[in-house]
């Protein structure tokens, strides 16, 4: 998710006022907005957008937005807004921002296009909501993480370090902390896509070897702070080798069909122990705490992984309440009539499915609440002192 949206953000220009023009008649009753290539005016774009959301949005039974009222209120306001008129394009963009501003899907993004198909305006309700939280902080880079690691290496707290960063931006690292805690961190779930890369192989082998060989192993920390998500299979590579029994951590259902409330049945979300024949972890870890470390910028798999770890009998979560984007994404609207759609006027990026936890509740738009709250301390962090990591280690060592 994040990779694509970040690409879009880079592509956005300050262009405002170039619309999508056409001299042809078009059928305003087209069911699938993905197929629309010709738009006459901003009212036509609104109709396509409203239809796409009406058919494909996965959260209508829990999102407080009255989508029918959105149509009644906003359709007349788009009337008369023409392409190629700067003031009309600005007015249309402001209306789309209002409409999408309170949607709970925290994967959600709406991108408007100009007449040449270039992105020129992006709306992200999640970013707006996150900035309203009193503990909000910006993401930090791998260079800042390296500074903290180097600080702890100098203190003698970190040894057996492996990892680094790819040109793509993907970073992964593993090490031994305080001689008895194995740590694995990654800024996106892109292990599977880079499994044949030497850096990834070495980092994961180091992670497994430290778990096997650390004689007085006290705990394991999985760090997904500032992690925007990625591949589900990566979580299995990280967590499944630590299990001796299956772990149910939630359920998911997919929007399916044209009805606003058409869904598939819920499917269980289960972590399954790796087969003994192929499991890279050779010791029983049932009595070893596994701690997820995540923050406000942990999204998608970056927060579903802490959710899964919390469901383990020996699992805990230290850090901050996460972003709240838990709906899995799969392909585009043509697969299930759900999720992402894109046409000549806009790109709408939204979840395909909805996730609930084992308590039966959906935390989309709210996030996962940690067992132990540890807030980001920017002053200390940028000096190399990672107070959140220290709190996770303190919990492992003391149980408090």
**pLDDT single digits (tens) 323-344:** 999 988 775 555 556 678 889 9
Place of tokens 């949607």: 103
Token pair, residue 60, equals 């209508």
Compute the C-alpha angle 297/301/304, nearest 5°. 95
**pLDDT single digits (tens) 298-314:** 999 999 999 999 999 99
Question: Average pLDDT for residues 41-58, to the nearest whole number?
Answer: 93
Gap between the Cα atoms of 4 and 225, Å rounded: 19
Q: Is the pLDDT of residue 361 over 70?
A: yes
Q: Is 210 left (phi over 0), alpha (psi -120 to 50) or beta?
A: alpha
pLDDT of residue 11: 42
Token pair, residue 250, equals 């939630």
Token pair, residue 394, equals 């303190």
Q: How many CA atoms does the CB half-sphere of 371 hold within 13 Å?
A: 22
The predicted model scores a pTM of: 0.90
With helix as H, strand as E and coil as C, how does 303-340 read?
A: HHHHHHHHHCCCEEEEECCCCCCCCCCCCEHHHHCCCE
Q: Is the pLDDT of residue 395 over 90?
A: yes
Gap between the Cα atoms of 344 and 340, Å rounded: 14
**pLDDT single digits (tens) 200-247:** 999 999 999 999 999 999 999 999 999 999 999 999 999 999 999 999
């Amino acid at each position: 998710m994040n990779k694509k949206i970040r690409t879009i953000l880079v592509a956005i220009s300050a262009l405002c006022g170039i619309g999508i023009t056409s001299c042809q008649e078009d059928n305003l009753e087209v069911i699938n907005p993905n197929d629309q290539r010709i738009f006459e005016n901003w009212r036509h774009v609104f109709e396509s957008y409203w239809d796409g959301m009406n058919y494909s949005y996965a959260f209508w039974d829990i999102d407080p937005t009255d989508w029918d009222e959105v149509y009644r209120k906003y359709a007349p306001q788009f009337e008369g807004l023409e392409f190629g008129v700067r003031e009309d394009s600005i007015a249309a963009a402001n209306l789309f921002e209002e409409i999408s501003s309170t949607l709970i899907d925290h994967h959600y993004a709406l991108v408007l296009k100009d007449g040449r198909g270039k992105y020129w305006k992006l709306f992200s309700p999640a970013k707006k909501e996150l900035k309203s939280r009193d503990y909000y902080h910006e993401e930090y880079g791998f260079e800042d993480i390296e500074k903290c690691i180097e600080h702890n290496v100098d203190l003698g707290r970190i040894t057996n370090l492996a990892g680094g960063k790819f040109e793509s931006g993907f970073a992964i690292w593993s090490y031994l902390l305080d001689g008895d805690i194995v740590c694995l961190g990654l800024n996106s779930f892109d292990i599977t896509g880079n499994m044949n890369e030497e850096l990834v192989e070495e980092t994961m082998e180091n992670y497994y070897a430290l778990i096997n060989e650390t004689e007085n192993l006290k705990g394991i920390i999985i760090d997904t702070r500032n992690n925007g998500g990625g591949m589900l299979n990566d979580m299995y590579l990280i967590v499944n080798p630590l299990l001796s029994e299956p772990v149910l951590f939630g359920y998911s259902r997919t929007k399916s069909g044209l009805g606003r409330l058409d869904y598939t049945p819920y499917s269980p979300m289960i972590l399954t122990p790796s087969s003994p024949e192929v499991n890279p972890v050779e010791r029983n870890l049932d009595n070893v705490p596994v701690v997820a470390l995540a923050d406000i910028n942990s999204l998608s798999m970056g927060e579903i992984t802490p959710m899964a770890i919390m469901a383990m009998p020996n699992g805990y979560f230290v850090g901050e309440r996460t972003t709240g984007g838990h709906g899995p994404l799969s392909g585009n609207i043509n697969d299930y009539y759900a999720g992402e759609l894109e046409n000549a006027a806009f790109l709408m990026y939204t979840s395909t499915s909805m996730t609930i936890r084992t308590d039966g509740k959906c935390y989309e738009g709210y996030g996962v609440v940690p067992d132990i709250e540890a807030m980001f301390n920017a002053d200390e962090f940028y000096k190399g002192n990672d107070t959140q990591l220290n709190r996770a280690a303190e919990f492992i060592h003391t149980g408090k």
